Structure 1
Amino acid sequence: MLVDTHTHLNAPEFDEDRDDVIQRALDAGVERMVVIGFDVDTSRMAIDLALRYEGIFAVVGIHPCYVQHAQEGHLADIERLLSHPKVVGVGETGIDLHWDKSTYRLQDRFFRKHIELGRRFDLPVIVHDREAHDEVLSILDTEQASDMSVVLHCFTGDLAMAEQAIRAGYFLGFGGIVTFKNSNLGDVIAGVPADHLLIETDAPYLAPSPFRGRRNEPAYVVKTAEAIAQIRGLSLNELAQITTKNAQRVFKHL
């Protein structure tokens, strides 16, 4: 069994064939999919999908690129959703300095609030980090997040950052980027403890080779798993067992 620990099946890119996409994932051995919210509406949709499919679970939150659109009361809406039995995490949250640095202070505030919610509800926090490695680790450290479950999703840092994150007890999510020819993640994947590895797609984004440039989907997490298994000298089945066990440690009700 494989677990896609980060997918956006609630995105409009799947509106025309969502059921077929989910069936292809199941056929490929991806028996668990964690659907991540961008905002209140997509968080609710993640829960709706989780109710329709036994193998789908929801994470609810407000993405750092969406904080400028958040209205008064949206964080309270997210807080109410966290009590749902098929919600297994908070996020995605974090810092993104690629698109709009002007919202940094607002992103910071929302990030800290999500960490607070994760602690209060005893749920993992799913962290988005784009061009903000130092900022993300600093905020997590200030908020003493090492005493809770944290996933650095779509990890793109170097080995030193990975080691710092693992010393704090965080998990690292790896997606299709690991299959790219110009990826510099091989040393990271080879050098970190296996019990901190997670696999993901971030679908519909960042499709792995040989699907790069196309819409990503959960079935393609197999390609990421194969690449990581090769780097670590494991069989696909061994890698699947390790990453599934890790996912079940992070997401307790998977």
Structure 2
Amino acid sequence: MQLTDTHTHIYYHADTLALQEQINRCLENNISRLFLPNVDTASITNVLNTASAYPENCYAMLGLHPCSVKENFREELASIKSAIEENNIYAIGEIGLDLYWDKSTLEEQKEAFRIQVGWAKEKNLPIVIHCRDAFKELFELLDEQKDEKLYGIFHCFTGNLEQARKAINLGFFLGIGGVVTFKNAGLDKVVEQLDLKHLVLETDAPYLAPTPYRGKPNESSYLIHIAKKVADIHGRSLADVANITTENSKIVFGI
């Protein structure tokens, strides 16, 4: 059995004992593949260093998070693009739209997204999408950008069934995280109606820890609780869910 965390910020612990301890706990739970999303230029080094320190387990993604899109976003993008050209990465991400924290940067967020989707298409890479309070605006962008080269993951998907099916039809897998274990979130009802072939698993550590750790710092080893919940929802074995979602991650990332 092999589990894959398709979205973890474990690199926040780069060059610390905590990183090694968390990696060890992952391996004890058969979580042997971790994909690391960048958020801005400041985090590039830690993403790349962590992937370099654990080449059999950690894989780098680079992109500009929508919450990091400020007035200087073009300078940030230039730095990230330079790092992409110089390093081996497996996706452009995380990128997208976030209207929860700041609606005033919507146009800048859209432009940053368009530019980064262009990079992904040039390099035949997937994109990893962050979407918060912005499904309408994001789907409009994706409809604008859709072609045979547009694909990837809707990270931390928490939408409804209609939105799930729209994302799938656009060529995306859905990243299912800790929210699926929350009692009243309703995501379990959506996941129940989706074929496992459309799903990948993630933690978004250190955020959104699953039950029974809700409200505490998350870590990638907790992916086991998300996988067990999805297995319960679908009436499948843990091994089935692990193997299917890991195979899906290999389709997305090419590794």
| Runs (5+) with no aligned partner, structure 1 | none
Contact 2:7 2:35 in 1 (8 A): yes
| Runs (5+) with no aligned partner, structure 2 | none
Aligned to 2:90, which of 88, 91, 97?
88
Q: 2:34: which partner in 1?
A: 33
Q: 1:135: which partner in 2?
A: 137
- For 1:69 and 1:37, the matched residues in 2 are separated by 19
Q: How far 1:84 sits from its partner (Å)?
A: 5.0
Question: Secondary structure of the equivalent of 1:127?
Answer: strand
1:20 aligns with 2:21: yes
- For 2:16 and 2:147, the matched residues in 1 are separated by 36
- Give the 3 Å change call, closer, same or farther, for CA 224–75 of structure 1 in structure 2: same
Contact 1:199 1:224 in 2 (8 A): yes
Q: How far 1:146 sits from its partner (Å)?
A: 5.5
Contact 1:43 1:59 in 2 (8 A): no
- Give the 3 Å change call, closer, same or farther, for CA 22–228 of structure 1 in structure 2: same
- For 2:125 and 2:117, the matched residues in 1 are separated by 9
Contact 1:25 1:218 in 2 (8 A): yes
Bigger mean CA deviation after superposition, 82-91 or 149-158: 82-91
Report the AA paired with residue 221 of structure 2.
Answer: A
1:59 aligns with 2:45: no
- Give the 3 Å change call, closer, same or farther, for CA 114–32 of structure 1 in structure 2: same
**Correspondence list, 1:73-222, <5 A:** 73-83=75-85, 86-145=88-147, 147-222=149-224
Q: 1:11: which partner in 2?
A: 12
1:227 aligns with 2:218: no
Deviations 1:123-143 (A, max 9, x none): 110000001011111101101
Deviations 1:48-83 (A, max 9, x none): 111110210011011000111645432122222224
Question: Secondary structure of the equivalent of 1:87?
Answer: coil
Q: CA RMSD in A?
A: 1.7
Contact 1:7 1:35 in 2 (8 A): yes
Q: How far 1:228 sits from its partner (Å)?
A: 0.6
Report the AA paired with residue 33 of structure 1.
Answer: L
Contact 1:2 1:32 in 2 (8 A): yes
Report the AA paired with residue 177 of structure 1.
Answer: V
Q: How far 1:41 sits from its partner (Å)?
A: 2.2
- Give the 3 Å change call, closer, same or farther, for CA 185–179 of structure 1 in structure 2: same
Report the AA paired with residue 147 of structure 1.
Answer: K
- For 2:14 and 2:45, the matched residues in 1 are separated by 17
Q: How far 1:202 sits from its partner (Å)?
A: 0.2
Report the AA paired with residue 167 of structure 1.
Answer: N
- For 1:84 and 1:26, the matched residues in 2 are separated by 29
Question: Secondary structure of the equivalent of 2:90?
Answer: strand
Q: 2:251: which partner in 1?
A: 249
Deviations 1:12-41 (A, max 9, x none): 699561211111111111000001111012
Report the AA paired with residue 181 of structure 1.
Answer: K
Deviations 1:174-204 (A, max 9, x none): 1000001012112221212221101000000
Report the AA paired with residue 5 of structure 1.
Answer: T
Identity across the alignment (%) = 38
